[in-house]
Homo-oligomer: A and B are copies of this chain.
Amino acid sequence: MALWVQKFGGTSVGTVERIEAVADKIVAARQQGHDIVVVVSAMSGETNRLIGLAEQIQSKPTPRELDVLVSTGEQVTIALLSMALHKRGCDARSFTGSQVRVLTDSAHNKARIREIDADNIRSEVDQGRVVVVAGFQGVDEEGNITTLGRGGSDTSAVALAAAIKADECQIFTDVKGVYTTDPRVVDDARLLRTITFEEMLELSSLGAKVLQIRSVEFAGKYKVPLRVLSSFEDDPGTLITLEDKNLMEAPIISGIAFTRDEAKVTVTGVPDIPGVAYQLLGPVSDAGIEVDVIVQNISSDGTTDFTFTVKRNDSDQAKAIVEGTAKKINAKSVKVDDKIAKVSLVGVGMRSHAGIASQMFKTLADESINIEVITTSEIKISVVIDEKYLELAVRSLHSAFGLGDEGENV
Residue in chain B with minimal CB distance to A93: B64
Q: Does A300 contact B (CB under 8 A)?
A: no
- Which of A83-91, A153-161, A199-207 participates in binding chain B? A83-91
Please give, as numbers and ranges, the residues of chain B lying within 8 Å of A98 by CB-CB distance. 98
Q: Write the A79-122 contact mask toward B (1 if CB under 8 angstroms, else 0).
A: 11011101100000110101100000000000000000000000
**A94 to B: closest C-beta gap in Å:** 5
A76 contacts which of B72, B80, B86 (Cβ < 8 Å)? B72
Quick check: is A371 within 8 A (CB to CB) of the other chain? no
Judged by a CB distance under 8 angstroms, whether A69 is at the interface is yes
The chain B residue with its CB closest to the CB of A142 is: B99
A344 at the interface (CB under 8 A from B): no
Interface flag for A57 (CB, 8 Å): yes
Closest to A66 in B: B79
Judged by a CB distance under 8 angstroms, whether A16 is at the interface is yes
Report the bound CA distance from A228 to B94 in whole Å: 38
B82 close to A76 (CB less than 8 A)? no
Distance in angstroms between the alpha carbons of A69 and B143 in the assembled complex: 20
Cα A61 to Cα B84 in complex, Å, equals 9
**CB of A68 to closest CB in B, whole Å:** 4
Verify if A182 is at the interface (C-beta below 8 Å from B). no
Q: Which residue of B lies closest to A57 (CB)?
A: B83
A20 to B56 CA separation, bound complex (whole angstroms): 10
Choose among B57, B75, B79, B145 the residue that contacts A80 (Cβ–Cβ < 8 A). Answer: B57
Is A76's CB under 8 angstroms from B50's CB? yes
**A99 touching B58 in the complex, CB below 8 Å, given contacts A53-B76, A86-B65:** no
How many monomers of this protein are in the complex?
Answer: 2
Do A84 and B99 touch (CB < 8 A)?
no
Residue of B nearest to A19 (CB): B57
Does A54 sit at the interface, judged by CB under 8 A? yes
Rounded to whole angstroms, the CA-CA distance of A82 and B68 in the bound complex is 10
A68 touches B58 (CB 8 A): no
* Bound-complex Cα distance A91 to B68 (A): 16
**For the complex, what is the distance from the CA of A79 to the CA of B70, rounded to whole Å?**
9
A279 at the interface (CB under 8 A from B): no
Closest to A74 in B: B72
Tell me which residues across on chain B come within 8 A of A82, comparing CB atoms: 62, 65, 68
A78 interface hit (Cβ, 8 Å): yes
Report chain B residues within 8 Å CB of A75.
68-69, 71-72, 75
Distance between Cα atoms of A67 and B83 in the complex (Å): 11
Q: How far is the CA of A20 from the CA of B54 in the complex (A)?
A: 12
Chain B residue nearest to A98 in the complex (CB): B98
If A82-B65, A94-B65 touch, whether A58 touches B76 (CB-CB below 8 Å) is no
Among candidates B20, B56, B79, B84, residue contacting A69 with C-beta atoms closer than 8 Å = B79
Asked whether, in the complex, the Cβ of B65 is within 8 Å of the Cβ of A53, the reply is: no
In the complex, per-residue mask of A27-51: 1 if CB is within 8 Å of any chain B CB, else 0: 0000000000000000000000010
Q: Are A79 and B65 in contact (CB under 8 A)?
A: yes
Contacts of A76 in B (CB 8 A): 50, 53, 69, 72
Q: Are A87 and B72 in contact (CB under 8 A)?
A: no
Are B83 and A62 in touch, CB under 8 angstroms? yes
Q: What residues of B have a CB within 8 angstroms of the CB of A84 in the complex?
A: 57-58
Q: Known contacts A65-B83, A72-B72, A72-B75; can you find 7 more A-B pairs with CB under 8 A?
A: A16-B53, A65-B79, A66-B83, A68-B94, A69-B80, A72-B76, A75-B75
List 21 interface pairs A-B (beta carbons < 8 Å), by A numbering.
A16-B53, A50-B76, A53-B76, A54-B79, A54-B80, A62-B82, A62-B86, A64-B93, A65-B79, A65-B80, A65-B82, A66-B83, A68-B75, A68-B78, A68-B82, A68-B94, A68-B96, A69-B76, A69-B80, A72-B72, A75-B75
